[in-house]
Structure 1
Amino acid sequence: MNIIEATSKAQIEDAYAIRRDVFVNEQGVSLDEEMDEHDDSATHLVGYLEDEAVAASRLRFVDKYGKFERISVLSSKRGKSFGKQMIEAMETITRNRGYHYAKLNAQVQALGFYQSLGYEVVSDEFLDAGIPHVTMTKALA
């Protein structure tokens, strides 16, 4: 998978389309909650297999953290380590911009995935868009 920072309108729309498919259509999150005020200022990443957009994520820098958000892989492409590749790409960008910590709000059902990548739970469980989440952090080497 080739992961890029989305810079063109078409690439950003590819990221949005994946998010709508995964979060709105598949998980039932409202479009108003999914597409928010941070989209205009965030860094968007898109993972392509040949010419097909198959994964997306959003990266913001908040306080001392790279904040990893909206990490999504099309359901037909899961189980191929694309989520892990998206996380690793965001970690690289975060380090390259001089940040040493990553933070994300993980859906509880994905907790094991993030723990396998070195993330640790730092919050109690909470609801985001009606879905149970926990906040996780990782020190980036």
Structure 2
Amino acid sequence: MSTIFEVQATDPLMSEVYALRRRVFVVEQGVPEELEVDDDDRRAIHLAALSDGLVIGTLRILLHDRAAKIGRMAVSASSRKRGVGRELMEFAAATASRRGADEIVLGAQVTARGFYERLGYSAEGSAFDDAGIPHVMMRRKLQR
């Protein structure tokens, strides 16, 4: 079980969030480093999952009108398949709803499509390439 909370962009813990994202996306998945951190990070709502004082999971939420876009979802290799991703996504949905969003959209890696479908997301459109990895857009309406 982990503890999940919002991390402000200026919080010292953000360095650990970025380190986890770098390990998952750049080192494990080969995403070019210059694509991993972008301008959206400054205005995003960042969530972190902590266990024993370590950041073991993260994602970011970008609000656009009545929609929330989730991205940069990462869970440390040693914490996968333990429910951390599900906990992060549930916390993100509650956070987005509180902030006025009616739906969540995200670009899921095709290999993670089943994970998001089990959480109530539906795929839309054809697969597309993002940083050399096949993705599919997914959407879920939020309960108000």
Shift of 1:98: 1.2
How many residues get paired? Answer: 141
Q: Aligned partner of 2:135: which letter? A: H
Contact 2:65/2:101 (8 A) holds in 1: no
Matched, 1:6 2:7: yes
Listed as ranges, the gaps of 5+ residues in structure 1 are: none
SS state at 2:41 partner: coil
Listed as ranges, the gaps of 5+ residues in structure 2 are: none
Q: Which whole-Å CA distance do the structure 2 matches of 1:126 and 1:5 have between them?
A: 30
SS state at 1:9 partner: coil
Q: Aligned partner of 1:77: which letter? A: S
Q: Which residue of 2 aligns with 1:37?
A: 39
Q: Aligned partner of 1:66: which letter? A: A
Q: Which whole-Å CA distance do the structure 1 matches of 2:125 and 2:14 have between them?
A: 31
* Identical amino acids, percent of aligned pairs: 36
Q: Deviations over 1:72-127 (max 9, x none)?
A: 10011101010000100110000101111000000000000000000001121000
Q: Which whole-Å CA distance do the structure 2 matches of 1:90 and 1:14 have between them?
A: 19
Matched, 1:124 2:115: no
TM-score, normalised via structure 2 length: 0.95
Shift of 1:63: 3.4
Q: Which residue of 1 aligns with 2:26?
A: 24
Q: Aligned partner of 2:96: which letter? A: T
Q: Which whole-Å CA distance do the structure 2 matches of 1:101 and 1:44 have between them?
A: 18
> 1:93-132 maps to which residues of 2 (within 5 A)?
93-132=95-134
Shift of 1:37: 1.3
